[in-house]
């Protein structure tokens, strides 16, 4: 028996259920908790993650709240895009998802990392569409310069010639152990749930690989389109809804990015609150869901007050 078999299973307090919806021609999975209402809180996961791992935060939020967590295209159990992935598609996907999940009412969004970046830009693109936004470590990307473009295109073209790097593991327990080795703040039972949510039985089963990651490995390709932070900031400046930015303070190489992002957002977003979770890293909704939930409940209460 290896050490990977020592993981305990996480016991959800609220049972999830899943449905499929078609969004702009692709099947998307949506995970629900609570009654299906016309105004659930919509949970938007980050890069390589999926909707199901919001379980820890959902379990700490009020039981009367309902939640809908889609898997972005090419992640989790949503369909892969045959033409590849372009960031603007996520704005269109989010709009189509909100038309399905929260039609005719300003939406409440909680996003993490990539999901938060999408949501925050969208909040300025469609300022009337949001009631409030909780941004978890959605810091944006570093500024780029036009002269960076040739090297980026070259790198992307070179990567297209190479075999895709698919993630294969001997077992869910091995994947959970790797997740914990990369993030010691993640408890064993939560690591096991995340590993299960991120994987499926390997399509070509062998002794060396019993499970594989769900997300499309083409997400690992370099993006040939440069991130233009000035454009993101122009979107942020049009946001009307209250925004809660929640960041960690762990010494994980992101401290300066967190500080700079908060300064940029405070300069652009008129109704911004910033909260720092002591000891938390980038995956703060996996690491400190209890503390995070208290901040979200208080933020929602303030937004509801005249």
pLDDT one-digit tens code per residue, 128-137? 999 999 999 9
If you compute the radius of gyration of the chain from its CA atoms, what whole number of angstroms results?
19
Q: Where are the alpha helices (DSSP H) in 126-205?
A: 149-160, 172-182, 188-198
Beta strands in the chain (DSSP E): 17-23, 26-33, 41-44, 67-70, 107-112, 130-136, 168-169, 199-206, 209-213, 243-248, 272-277
Residues contacting 58, CB < 8 A, separation 6+: 14, 33, 43, 67
Per the CB < 8 A criterion, the answer to whether 105 and 244 are in contact is no
Tell the burial category of 128 from Cβ atoms under 10 Å away from its Cβ (0-12, 13-18, 19+).
exposed
The encoded tokens of residue 249 equal 């303070």
Cα–Cα separations (whole angstroms), residue 235 to 244, 265, 282: 16, 11, 24
Share of the chain above pLDDT 70, in %: 95
Given this model, what pLDDT does residue 205 score? 59
Residues 85-130: tens digit of each pLDDT: 999 999 999 999 999 999 989 999 999 999 999 999 999 999 999 9
Sheet holding 168-169, edge to edge: 168-169, 209-213, 199-206
Domain boundaries, the chain: 9-144+223-304
Per the CB < 8 A criterion, the answer to whether 133 and 109 are in contact is yes
Residues 254-285: tens digit of each pLDDT: 888 888 999 999 999 999 999 999 999 999 99
Residues 4-54: tens digit of each pLDDT: 444 568 999 999 999 999 999 999 999 999 999 999 999 999 999 999 999
The pLDDT confidence band at residue 166, using thresholds 50, 70 and 90, is confident
Identify the DSSP state of 80: P
Beta strands in 140-194 (DSSP E): 168-169
Per the CB < 8 A criterion, the answer to whether 40 and 100 are in contact is no
Given this model, what pLDDT does residue 3 score? 43
Given this model, what pLDDT does residue 193 score? 97
The pLDDT confidence band at residue 2, using thresholds 50, 70 and 90, is very low
CATH number of 9-144+223-304: 3.40.50.1820
Given this model, what pLDDT does residue 306 score? 67
Q: Is 203 a residue whose pLDDT tops 90? A: no
Q: Which of 248, 243, 245 is nearest to 277 (CA)?
A: 248
Please give the Cα distance from 94 to 113 (Å, whole number).
15
The encoded tokens of residue 230 equal 């000035």
What mean pLDDT comes out for the span 247-260? 87
Please give the Cα distance from 48 to 217 (Å, whole number).
10
């Amino acid at each position: 028996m290896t050490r990977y078999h020592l993981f305990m299973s996480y016991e959800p307090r609220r049972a999830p259920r899943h449905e499929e919806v078609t969004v702009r021609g692709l099947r998307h999975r949506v995970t629900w908790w609570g009654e299906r209402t016309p105004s659930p809180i919509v949970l938007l996961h980050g890069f390589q993650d999926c909707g199901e791992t919001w379980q820890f935060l959902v379990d700490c939020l009020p039981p009367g709240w309902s939640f809908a967590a889609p898997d972005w295209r090419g992640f989790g159990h949503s369909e892969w895009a045959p033409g590849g992935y372009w960031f603007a598609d996520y704005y269109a996907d989010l709009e189509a998802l909100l038309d399905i999940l929260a039609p005719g009412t300003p939406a409440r969004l909680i996003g993490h990392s990539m999901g938060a970046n999408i949501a925050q830009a969208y909040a300025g693109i469609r300022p009337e569409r949001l009631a409030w936004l909780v941004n978890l470590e959605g810091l944006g990307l570093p500024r780029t310069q036009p002269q960076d473009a040739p090297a980026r295109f070259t790198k992307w073209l070179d990567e297209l010639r190479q075999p895709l790097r698919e993630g294969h593991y001997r077992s869910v327990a091995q994947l959970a152990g790797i997740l914990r080795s990369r993030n010691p703040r993640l408890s064993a039972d939560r690591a096991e749930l995340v590993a299960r949510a991120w994987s499926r039985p390997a399509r070509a089963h062998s002794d060396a690989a019993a499970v594989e990651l769900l997300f499309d490995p083409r997400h690992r390709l370099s993006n040939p389109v440069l991130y233009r932070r000035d454009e993101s900031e122009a979107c942020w400046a049009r946001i009307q809804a209250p925004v809660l930015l929640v960041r960690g303070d762990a010494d994980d190489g992101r401290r300066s990015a967190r500080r700079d992002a908060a300064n940029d957002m405070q300069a652009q977003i008129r109704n911004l609150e910033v909260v720092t979770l002591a000891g938390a890293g980038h995956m703060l909704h996996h690491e400190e869901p209890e503390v995070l939930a208290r901040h979200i409940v208080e933020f929602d209460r303030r937004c509801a007050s005249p």
